[in-house]
Amino acid sequence: MKRIKIKYPVIVEGKYDKIKLESVIDANIFTTDGFGIFSSEEKKMLFRKLAENSKVLVLTDSDGGGTVIRSFLDSVLRRENIVQLYVPQKKGKEKRKTVPSKEGFLGVEGIDASVLRELFIPFSDEKQAEPDAPRKGQIKKVLLFEYGLSGGKESGKLRAEFAAEIGMPQNISANALLEAANALYSKEEFVKIIENFCRKRAKNRQ
């Protein structure tokens, strides 16, 4: 299958994630070397330069370590140019490993190529938006509040269910969900997804 050409630089955690993505996308892919980014001034300088005048796509594992790396990048790079992408939390073990990761989730390298492909299609250099296509980036946090996905006692639990339903990490924060939604959907598309989720959830609880 032809690789998708991506016009933005992509940041992942390790070399095996990079190898996997190179089979799916044609892009400049950089690694954080796991937690090595915390102490590498050279890496931080490079990533800051990348994010100065271009969007940067960040894709880390869906575990706690991946969340920590995302937060760190968010704190040292130009925030308006960071686009956070997420792989689903899926239990399993990569073929090259003898034991699963600490939390038991597949890393980026273990995710099906078809899933990764769908994740990057919106950022393809070859993708031409339809003239009347709904605009992305119009979703506000108040929308999450209105549907109980933030600001309530049960919001964390509901958000975890919703994230699992749409193939995102179940530990995703409200702010991270908002960023991901704005990168992937128009407001109309996202509302439809939430309402379908709510109807399905209500039906299952009957």
* CATH no., domain 4-123: 3.40.1360.10
Note the helical H segments in 40-134.
Answer: 41-50, 64-76, 113-120
Model pTM? 0.69
What whole-number distance in Å separates Cα of residue 117 and Cα of residue 67? 22
What whole-number distance in Å separates Cα of residue 202 and Cα of residue 205? 5
Burial class (CB in 10 A: 0-12, 13-18, 19+), 24: buried
Tell me the pLDDT band of 178, cut-offs 50, 70 and 90: confident
Average pLDDT, integer, range 129-149:
75
Tell me the pLDDT band of 93, cut-offs 50, 70 and 90: confident
Residue 188, amino acid: E
The predicted pLDDT at position 136 comes to 60
In the block, residue with structure tokens 């128009």: 186
In this predicted structure, the answer to whether residue 119 has a pLDDT above a threshold of 80 is: yes
Contact 4, 114 (CB under 8 A): no
The predicted pLDDT at position 130 comes to 45
Domain residue ranges of the chain, discontinuous segments joined by +:
4-123, 141-205
